[in-house]
Structure 1
C-alpha cells in the first residue's frame, strides 16, 4: 500500500485567502484605474463574466519572482470557484508535486515548460492541465508575482499594523542565499537574517509587511502557525481596507501607479470587459464566505521508480475520477 500524502506542500488556508484577496483587489484597481472614458466603454461592452452553471472558476498561480531561484515555477496553485448569485466561494489548493504523466514532470513546472516552448501559452496550458485534474472548466487564470506584494503596499503609502506582541525570528531566509555555503559554517547563518518586531501600532512598508507575514521561525508563541495566520489576516484586512477606501479610489495618480504595479505583477487572461463584473464581486467579497478543501486524502506518494524519473511525486490513490467526484460534490452541496 502506497503512503498517503503527508509532505508539507499545501498552502495554509489563510495564505490561500491572502492570494485571493490580492487578486480581487488587483482587478478592482485595474478597473478604477482605467479612467472614466475607458470605464464607460467597459460598462457598455456586452461581454460579461464567464460562468458555468452560475459559477466562475479561476486558477490562481503564484511564482516567487526574480529574486528567488525557480522564478517561474508555480509553487502556489489554487482552484477558486465563485457562485455569482450567492457570493459563496470554494477554494482548493493543489500540491505542486502532482505528477503529470503526459509531460513526465510535476504540476508546478507546467507554466514554465509551456512558456519555454511557446511564449504566452503558460496560462492556457496550466488551465488545461488543472482542468483535467479536477474535471472542471476553468474560465480565467491569474498569475501573481509575489514581488508585487511589496510594491502594492508601498504604493498605498504603507499599511498600519498593530503588532500584538514583540517577537524575534533568527532564521528568516535571504533571497538568493539558498545555496550559499557560508564559508563552511555548518549552521549556514549567512542564509538568514534576524527579524525583530516591537509591540504596538506601526506603519509598515512593503518589505517590512512581507517579512511580517512570512516569518515562520519566531521564538515563542509567534512561531506557531496560528500566530502566523493571524498576522497574515491583519495584512489582508489592512490592504483591502486601504485599497478600497475613498481616499484611494478618488486619487487618480495613485490608481494609475497601482495599475502599473498590478500590470507588472499580475498576468491574466481576464478580458477588460469583465473587470467591472469582477470589481463588483470584489467589493462584496468577504473572506468569511470562503470554504476550503485539500486533496491530501485522495493522493498518495508512490515509491521512487523510473516511471517517475525517481522524483518525489503525488498520484491519485485510485484514479482521477475520484477527485472529479469530490469536486462536483463540494461545488453542488
Structure 2
C-alpha cells in the first residue's frame, strides 16, 4: 500500500479551493502553469501485444459539459531535486454535481498491470512505475485509464514534500491520538494534540503498530482538520504563502472555470456522501512483490465509477 494515500483527497480539496482563490487574486495560467513542459498527453494507440487484450482508444478526454460528472486522477509523487521521482500514491476521484456525491478509489501502487506509454503499450509492471518509466503524468493517466477502463478528465500531481509546509501554513492540525507511540523521532501521546507539518506527516505514515484501520483513521483526522481550514474563506489571508508552496509542489491541468466550479461543488458535499472504494487482490512474489487484482475485480470497481460518471456500457473502453 502506498504512503499517505488518503491524504490525496485532502490535497485535491486544497488544490481546488486554493487554485480557485488564486485565480480570483489574479494569478493567471502563466503563473500557475497548469500544463507543465513535457507533460502533454500522448496520442492514442492500439499496438498489439502477444497474449494481451488490447483496449481500443479511449473516448477523447474532453472536459465534460458544465454540471456533468467529472473524474480526476491524483498523483502523489516523492520527488527530490535532480530526481525524476516516483508515484507513491494514485487516487481516482469522481464527482457528480447533481447528486452532490463523491467516490474515491485508492489504487494500490504495487498493482500489476500493462504500462501504457506514448509509443504504445509497454511491459507488465507495478502501476506506479508508469510515472518513472514513462513520460510522467501522461503515461500514468493512460495506464490508469487502461487499468480501470475509465476516462480521466483531469489530473493533479502533488509532491509530498509540500505537505508539511501546507500543514504549517494552516497553523497545524488538531487530532485525537488513540494510543501513545513514537515514529522517526516524533512522540505521540494519547489524547488531543496539535501537530505541525513534520509531526502530521509522521502521524499518518506510522506502520509500526496497530492495523491499517488505525492508520486510515489517523489520516482521516488530518484530512478533516485541513478540510475545514482549507475551505474557509480565511484562506485568502494565506494566499501568497500558499501560492509559493503550490507553485513548487503542485501541477494540474484544471482551468479557472474547472477549479472554481469544483470548489463550489465540494463545499456543498457532506461527509456522508463521500464513498471510498477498494480494490481487492492477492500477493505475488516473482521475486519482487506485486498485488494481483483480478480482471473481475477491476471490472466491478470500474463499473461503479463509470456509473457514477453516468457513462454508458464499458464496451467502448474494454473489449
Whether these two folds match at TM > 0.5 is yes
Which of structures 1 and 2 has the bigger CA Rg? 1
The alignment status of 1:58 with 2:52, answered yes or no, reads no
1:267 paired with 2:251, answer: yes
**1:135 to partner: Cα distance:** 1.1
Q: Could you tell me which residue of structure 2 aligns to residue 203 of structure 1?
A: 194
Equivalent position of 2:313 in the other structure: none
Q: State the match for 2:52 in structure 1.
A: none
Contact 2:6/2:216 (<8 A) preserved: no
**Offset of 1:51 from its aligned partner?**
2.7
Distance across 2 between alignment mates of 1:206 and 1:324: 38
Give yes or no for contact 2:69–2:94 (8 Å, CA) kept in 1: yes
Cα distance change, pair 224–129 in 1 and its aligned pair in 2 (3 A): closer
Alignment length, in residue pairs?
Answer: 267
How far, CA to CA, are the matches of 1:10 and 1:248 in structure 2?
A: 29
Residues 327/242 of structure 1: CA separation in 2 closer, same or farther (3 Å cut): same
1:90/1:331 contact within 8 Å kept: no
Indicate if the aligned counterparts of 2:164 and 2:196 stay in contact, CA closer than 8 A.
yes
1:103 and 2:122 equivalent? yes
Higher strand residue share: 2
Provide the C-alpha distance between the structure 1 equivalents of 2:73 and 2:178, rounded to a whole number of angstroms.
36
Cα pair distance change 1:264/1:286, threshold 3 Å: farther
Tell me the equivalent position of 1:33. Answer: 22
Whether the 8 Å contact between 1:63 and 1:71 is mirrored in structure 2 is no
Cα RMSD between the aligned structures? 3.2
TM-score by length of 1: 0.69
- 1:278 corresponding residue in structure 2: 262
Structure (1 or 2) with the greater helix fraction? 1
1:328 aligns with one of 287, 300, 303? 303
Question: Are the aligned partners of 1:168 and 1:196 in contact in 2 as well (CA < 8 Å)?
Answer: yes
Q: Of 192, 209, 212, which aligns to 2:203?
A: 212
SS at match of 1:74: strand
The reply on whether 1:144 has 2:158 as its aligned counterpart is yes
Is the 8 Å Cα contact of residues 79 and 86 (structure 2) preserved in structure 1? no
Query: Given the superposition, is the C-alpha separation of residues 10 and 232 from structure 1 closer, same or farther in structure 2, using an over 3 Å criterion?
Result: closer
Cα distance in 1, alignment partners of residues 24 and 68 from structure 2: 30
Aligned-pair distance for 1:206? 0.8
Q: Secondary structure at the match of 1:34?
A: helix
- Cα contact 1:123–1:269 (8 A) shared by 2: no
Query: Which runs of structure 1 show a deviation greater than 6 angstroms over 4 or more consecutive aligned residues?
Result: none
Kept in 1: contact 2:13–2:230 (CA 8 A) = no
Q: Is residue 24–residue 279 contact of structure 1 (8 Å, CA) maintained in 2? A: yes
Contact kept? 1:64, 1:71, Cα under 8 Å:
no
Distance in structure 1 (CA, Å) of the matches to 2:107 and 2:175: 33
Pair 1:293-2:301 in alignment: no
CA distance, structure 1, for counterparts of residue 206 and residue 102 of structure 2: 28
Task: Provide structure 2 residue ranges, at least 5 long, that are not aligned to the other structure.
Answer: 29-61, 116-120, 309-319
Normalising by structure 2, we get a TM-score of 0.71
> How much has 1:242 moved relative to structure 2?
1.9
Q: Does 1:82 align with 2:92?
A: no
- Given that residues 126 and 290 in structure 2 are in contact (C-alpha distance below 8 angstroms), is that contact kept between their aligned partners in structure 1? yes
Conservation of the 8 A alpha-carbon contact between 2:155 and 2:254:
yes
Shift in alpha-carbon separation, 1:270–1:128, aligned structure 2, 3 A:
same
- Within a 5 Å distance, the mapping from 1:110-129 to structure 2 comes to 110-115=130-135, 122-129=136-143
